[in-house]
Every structure is written in structure tokens, then in C-alpha cells.
Structure 1
């Protein structure tokens, strides 16, 4: 049943073979029997994060029933120290009190430690800035973190200093009662120029690094968009407002209607983009170094005072340079 069991448990690929007696078993239950060193809950997380393949296809459903003829590959990441360290990293603090802190995050900064990024994250900076006064609800790896922005998305993010603030903010995120608006630059001009994009978002069955609109499973997602300015037929500046908050939601939804974000390395396939532009202009647009996405508006009820707070972030320099360039092409 277990074709190969590397000597070290973490940081390895494990290849297992399902046989006829396992036909009909749940994937997570079978893996738990094969790998008793790992808890079933941990295996479920690995499956849902796309780290399990059956016959070379990623599987994200822990309840998947086996045929009894599959070859399974389980990718277990390297274990890392649990506690992030405080680092003296400059932060653009928009607002701060005893309960929470609002940061204008630059593009390129990861929010919390994870595989491949165990230092220089927003969490490391917050631990230094706040002197340890961060909510513990997020766990040792994510103290104070109520929500995230992708590494290369810039803009506003709120973190909790107390457990009570964390709980209050988390309830607002769960109820989708906050105000969250983004500006994005996409390829082409969406039609109609104002509308809604719906579609359940889940892990892509073909690429574990990507999210996708899925027919089965996933979580409901709704994005409202409005074209603020069109740059010919080449691109558009779009305001997107989140009615839900799913991983990569704007990036996935805009791609689904044929208008991926400029600079998006994961969803913004560059083939055929910028047709009709001079080669130099097309090259500059296709090599914009990050997804053109900025969280410019964030509003919520203060979890302690119940005051309505609304913050707006200026568009960053690289984003402004991009739109200024598009004005001239």
C-alpha cells in the first residue's frame, strides 16, 4: 500500500498505491491509515490546500472515494519554527489605538509567515511595532491577523491588538458588513461598464497554486465592478467592491469575464494582450512587475467604541505611473 516511505517525515513526497480492498474508502481516512504519524485533521488541510494528487491530478476533496487503483502522491511541506520573530521593519500606519491598527501595506510584503516566507512579513513587523500586544486568536503564526492581502497587492489592512477586537472584526468579515474597495487595471474594457460577477471560488483542480470558479464546492463569491476610465480598448481602470472575501477573488472574477489584471503572474496570461500597440509599449505593459491591484478603501465599525471608521489610501507610485503611461498609448 505504501510504495515509498522516506526516512524523514517532513519536506518530502510520499507515494502511495491504493489497491482493490481500498475501493470506496474516503481519501482522508485511507491516508490516515497509511500515515498514522499525521493526524486526520492535518491530512484534511493538506488535501484542501492541493498537496495531494491522485494519478497526477490534484484532489482537494477530503471525502473523495477511492477507486482502488490509484497512485497517490502526498506533498508534506518542511516543518518550520512555530514562532515568528519581531523585526524592525518600517510600517505605514494609517490609524492605531489600544484595540487595533490599520496599515497601508506595500506591494511585495507577505502578510504572515508561510512556506518560503518566514521572515520580513507584516506579522514580523507588527510584533516589533506593537511590542507583543497582538491578538492571539490567529495563532502563533498569525497573531492579530483578521484578513489578508496577497503579497503583491498593496493597500489597507486592519490587525487586532486584543482578542475582543479580533472577535469583533472577524464577525464583521464573516457577515460581509465591512466596506472594502479596490482599484485595478485590467486588460481590455469590461462590458457592460458596471456590473456584478458571481461564481463559487475554490482551489483549482488543475493547479494547486490557483483558485478558480468551480461548479462543485468552493464558496460563494460576489464582486461588484465599475469602469472608472478606459484607455482605448487596451486597458481600463476599474473599481471593485467585495461583497464577499475569497482568496484571489478579484483576480479570479476579472479573469473569468476575460479581463485579467495587468501584471498578474498567475491569472493574467499575456498571450495576445496589447495587440496593435507599439512593441515597446506592449513590452512595458506585459512586464508590469505585479498585479495592478490596490485596496484603497476600508471601512468598519470599531469593535470597542462602535464608531464607524473609514480609511482611504492614495494610489501608489507604480500604479500611478502605469495609468499615466496608459493615458499616452
Structure 2
């Protein structure tokens, strides 16, 4: 029997829609489209954890897993082809199997079209080369989940194939617990709640996601976010969120769907003052100042819990501090916009 090779590819932000067989042919050498189609028909090609048909069209940020029954040669996704870059990385924990990182806002996790350098992966390679860990394949083993470029917080990477499979299974079975904090515009009606819906590409803007109408639900992916109000202010609400699923832009899309986009989320309308007509000129000035301080969506992955892949009796729990600019906006809200 031929040896099987598992490949993980994450489509770039600006990926044009093309058939899955053509996409894989462009990224894997020594394999034909006919062979790729055979693997697709046998259920060996997954996109976003789901089996797809051979005519599936790859979309931006698709997470593709291919189990190819011959050792292929990776093209630009080869670990060797990623240049190590000396980038400051805030490491929360590291052992022989995993590395947990506090990712700053503004850092892209993985290389892609428009982000060929300066990503977390480039910095991780530099870190591992200087740690004499030279046989690490970042694309085959490392990435098990992601954070948006302008979302800060905790991210775990696997350092070997065993850990990658173990962590991926935990994500698949939803036993990994992730908690986020966020600022949402407006005054939420309930102190806690659950937001659900099928998330898919916005047909009017392929870079955006949205909750699909019922007739289009077969084109989306089911998503669940639980939220709890931590503090209420006059113009924004401070919440904690637990995601039961991990879909692209999930929390951002869910709060947009509620009519309460995240503070300074430029993609989903949060970069403008909410209900501006009801604000005094003085408060508009304060809110504009907050937008200048926190120059990205107010979303931070504050805690992460999972079972250690090698030591299954150990439950790992990590927390990281709230970024200073986020904390500063919270203080301004407490002092300037107390809830009546």
C-alpha cells in the first residue's frame, strides 16, 4: 500500500474561487487532477472539516485537509520555503509538544496572498530554528486553529504530528474551551444568551460573512456563541463569549446579526459611532477618542483550556492579560459613560 500523506492548506484572504482539484494541482507537485478527483470522490479531501465534491470551489480562508496516497512535493507551502523572520512572539507556555502564544492584534497568523512575510508562522520558524527544532513542519503539524488578524489573544500550535492530531480531535469534538471578551455597540437586551445561525459568505461582499437566510442555510456552516454581559455602559456593552463552534469571523458576525456590531469592527460596521444622533457633542468627542485608542475590533481571546496531547491526565488552562489599549477604552467607558 502506498504511504499516505496528510496536507493542510489554508486559502488566502483574497483567494479567487476555483475548483478544488485545480487549486490542489497548483499547490501540490507530482499529482494529476485525475488523482485528486479520485481522492475527492473517496472522501479524502475535507474543506472546513466537511467532505466536498470534486466540483467544489475553494473560497477565501477555506481550511483544506487532503489525505493523498502518495508522498507529494509541496510547492510554496513547504516549510523550507518559508523564510525565518526575527519577530517578537509572546510565548505563554512551551514544552516538547505544544506552544501557546499571546498573539497581538495586527499580526497575521499564516502566510497567504498579500501576507507573504511578517506572519506568526515566519516568527515561529525563527524561534524553532534558534531552539534547534529543525524538523518541524508548520503546515502539516502546527496550525490547529486561527485568530483573525485584528483579534488578539491566545493561540495554541502543535509541535509534532501526534499533538496536531490530538488537538485537532479536541477541536472537532468541541472539548477545547475558548473564552473571548468583547465590546459591542449599544445596550444588549439580555444579560446572557446564545446566538446561533448558519454562517456563510455574504453574496454581496465575498470578504464578509453573514448569517444566511433559511433558504440558503445549506450553503452555510452552523455556529453557536454563548455570551454573558460583564458590564453595561451608556453606549457599549462589555461581554464575555464562549464559542461552541469556530467559524470564520463567528463572534463578529453574531453580534452584527444581533444589531450590536463589535466596537471598531470596520468590516461589520463597528467603526462608526452607534446611534450617533442620541449622543451629545461631548460624548461624541470621547467616543471618537476611544476609536483612536483601540484601532481594531474590540475582541480578545482571553483564555484557552484543553487536554494536554501527551499527558492526558493534565487539563491545561491558560489566560492572558487584556491588551493595554483595550483596557484603556474600558476605563474611559467606566469613568465617562456609566450605565444609567
Question: What TM-score, normalized to structure 2?
Answer: 0.72
Shift in Å at residue 202 of structure 1? Answer: 1.5
Aligned to 1:302: 308
Equivalent position of 2:125 in the other structure: 127
The Cα of 1:91 is off from its aligned counterpart by 1.1
Map residues 1-329 of structure 1 onto 2, 5 A cutoff: 39=33, 47-49=57-59, 83-131=81-129, 132-133=133-134, 136=137, 138-139=139-140, 144-214=142-212, 215-232=217-234, 234-270=235-271, 273-275=274-276, 276-277=279-280, 278=282, 279-287=284-292, 288-306=294-312, 307-327=314-334, 328-329=336-337
* Residue 269 (structure 1) shift: 4.4
Q: Does the 8 Å contact 1:294/1:315 carry over to 2?
A: yes
CA displacement, residues 26-68 of structure 1 (integer Å, 9 cap, x when unaligned): x959x99xxxxx95979979934169xxxxxxxx9xxxxxxxx
Deviation at 1:257, TM superposition (A): 0.4
Distance 1:282-1:176 versus aligned 2 partners, 3 A rule:
same
Q: Separation in 1 of the partners of 2:82 and 2:56?
A: 22
Shift of 1:283: 2.0
Match in the other structure for 1:76: none
Secondary structure of the equivalent of 1:202? strand
Kindly state the Cα deviation for residue 136 of structure 1 after the two structures are TM-superposed.
Answer: 3.0
The structure in which a higher percent of residues are helix is 2
Question: 3-state DSSP class of the match of 2:268?
Answer: coil
In structure 2, relative to structure 1, the CA distance for the partners of 1:134 and 1:188 (3 Å cut) is: farther
Q: Give the RMSD, CA atoms, in angstroms.
A: 3.2
Task: For residue 163 of structure 1, report the CA deviation from its aligned partner.
Answer: 0.4
Alignment coverage as a number of residue pairs: 272
| Cα distance, 1:170–1:230 mapped onto 2, change above 3 Å | same
Q: Which has the higher strand share?
A: 2
Change (3 A) 1:243 1:135: farther
Structure 2: tracts of 5 or more residues without a match: 1-14, 24-31, 38-52, 63-74
Contact map agreement 1:135 1:163 (CA 8 A) in 2 = no
For residues 65-121 of structure 1, give each alpha carbon's deviation from its aligned partner in whole angstroms, at most 9, with x where no partner exists.
xxxxxxxxxxxxxx9675221111111111100001000111111001011111111
Deviation per CA, 1:111-147, whole angstroms, max 9, x where unpaired? 01011111111101111112245753734xxx51111
Q: What runs of 5+ residues in structure 1 fail to find an aligned partner?
A: 1-12, 15-26, 33-37, 52-59, 61-78
Larger radius of gyration: 1
Alpha-carbon distance in 1 for matches of 2:84, 2:60: 30
Q: Secondary structure at the match of 1:283?
A: helix
CA distance in 2, matches of 1:262, 1:157: 22
Matched position secondary structure for 1:102: strand
In 2, distance between residues paired with 1:165 and 1:28? 31
1:67 equivalent in structure 2:
none
CA positional deviation for 1:166: 0.5
Tell me the secondary structure at the aligned position of residue 106 of structure 2: coil
**Structure 1 residue matching 2:178: 3-state secondary structure:** strand
